[in-house]
Amino acid sequence: MRKELAVFIVLLGIFLVAGCTGNEPATPAETPEATPVETPVAPVSDVTPQPVDKGKIVEVDIQNSSFNPQSVEILTGDTVRWTNKDSIAHTVTGPTFDSKVLENGDTYEFLFTDAGTYNYKCSIHPSMKGTVVVAEKK
Ligand SMILES: [Cu+2]
């Protein structure tokens, strides 16, 4: 009799477990709605190509073993022109440009096409330092 009871309890247990799992609500598989992809409408460009703006020329004197003005701010497309007004030779040596030796009266020009801060010096007198700050032309 006890054995039958135990079997009954076991069967009841199995039945309950099976019943519970059977009643579990099926979780609806969420199918994410496809978000509409916005295709940007390219505006019809009526911009006529402008002639290349050559920019301006900014003068820097080399005088008394210093660059004057010591720092200049220009825009992309502008040119810096250094003029050695000293009786001794100097150079204008930066990360992307190098004038080589400039004697008295010599000039050196460099067209800056990339924005950034350019620190330069005289390779003969490294304590002579200057800066060209180039901002992107709008
Ligand atoms: Cu120098």
pTM score over 0.75? no
Q: Dump pLDDT digits (tens) for 71-82.
A: 999 999 999 999
> Could you tell me if residue 39 is inside a domain?
no
Q: Dump pLDDT digits (tens) for 23-82.
A: 545 555 555 566 666 666 655 656 666 555 679 999 999 999 999 999 999 999 999 999
> Could you tell me if residue 34 is inside a domain?
no
C-alpha of residue 104 to centroid of ligand 1, in Å: 11
99 is in which domain, residue-wise?
Answer: 57-135
Which of 55, 121, 110 lies closest to 81 in space, CA to CA?
110
Q: What is the mean pLDDT of residues 78-94?
A: 98
C-alpha of residue 88 to centroid of ligand 1, in Å: 8
Other C-beta atoms closer than 10 Å to the C-beta of 93 total 16
> Could you tell me if residue 107 is inside a domain?
yes
C-alpha of residue 118 to centroid of ligand 1, in Å: 17
> Could you tell me if residue 72 is inside a domain?
yes
Count: domains in the chain: 1
C-alpha of residue 94 to centroid of ligand 1, in Å: 13
> Could you tell me if residue 17 is inside a domain?
no
> Could you tell me if residue 64 is inside a domain?
yes
CATH code, domain carrying 74:
2.60.40.420
pLDDT at 50: 55
